[in-house]
Amino acid sequence: MSREIVFDTETTGLSPLGGDRVVEIGCVELLNHMPTGQNFHVYINPERDMPQGAFAVHGLSSEFLSDKPVFAAIADAFVDFIGDAKLVAHNAAFDIGFLNAELGRLGHGPIDQGRVVDTLAIAKRKFPFAPASLDALCLRFGIDNSRRTKHGALLDAEILAEVYVELLGGRQTTLGLVAAGVKTAVERASARRGSLVRPEPLPSRLTAAEAAAHEAFIATLKGEIVWRRYLPEQDAAKAAS
């Protein structure tokens, strides 16, 4: 069976070499692209202050993190959880750079880049010139990210797992890969579009005289009026009468 770990981190900033540290790790286990329910999630005391810019992104304060374990205390559990699985992240170089910096401080070997899948790179190849942020991909695939008011490693990993499956082509229900009652992102998007249909159409802005003048003009045209193929049946019958 193919085991993959979709993960995300939150940090104190943008530069692991400049002293920024990991403050949260969230991992979601997939087997054959399906979530198993086995997750790894931990908050980490970064042993330094929390810059205001980083706090604005994830909302994790120095006070909140003060009683959380340091990275050294959770490193072995993290390494054991990921094992030798393929690692999936969005803008993976950022997260891997931070994790390798943390592991390097403890004498652990780095995570091999060969086992890392970057969903940002996949999205850019698949949808060139289109927005490729996690939020943009949720919108494209109809994935609900309404809980994502701030960045959070586990929530982002859970959402990214859905995005990753859609980037691979989506779950094939005809092959029995989706449990009964679980909707795919395509089905959710379709349902969402259906919910936006007006129960009553808006009244026409044309006056009776304008509508009559239009029909008189149409009557002068020869051949089939092509756009009438796309009118609802009742409207097409009325227009043809």
Q: Which residues are catalytic?
A: 151
Q: Which of 125, 124, 30, 134 is nearest to 86 (CA)?
A: 30
Is position 58 annotated in a ligand binding site?
Answer: yes
What angle, 0 to 180 degrees and rounded to 10, lies between the N-to-C axes of helices 71-82 and 92-105?
Answer: 120
Is position 8 annotated in a ligand binding site?
Answer: yes
In sequence order, what DSSP letters do the residues of 59-117 get, joined into one string?
---HHHHTTSPPHHHHHHHHHHHHTT-EEEETTHHHHHHHHHHHHHHTTPPPPPGGGEE
Is position 41 annotated in a ligand binding site?
Answer: no
Q: Which of 62, 29, 27, 28 is nearest to 46 (CA)?
A: 62
Is position 10 annotated in a ligand binding site?
Answer: yes
Fill in the DSSP letter of residue 4.
E
Positions at the binding site for a divalent metal cation: 8, 10, 156
Positions at the binding site for substrate: 8, 10, 58, 156
Positions at the binding site: 8, 10, 58, 156
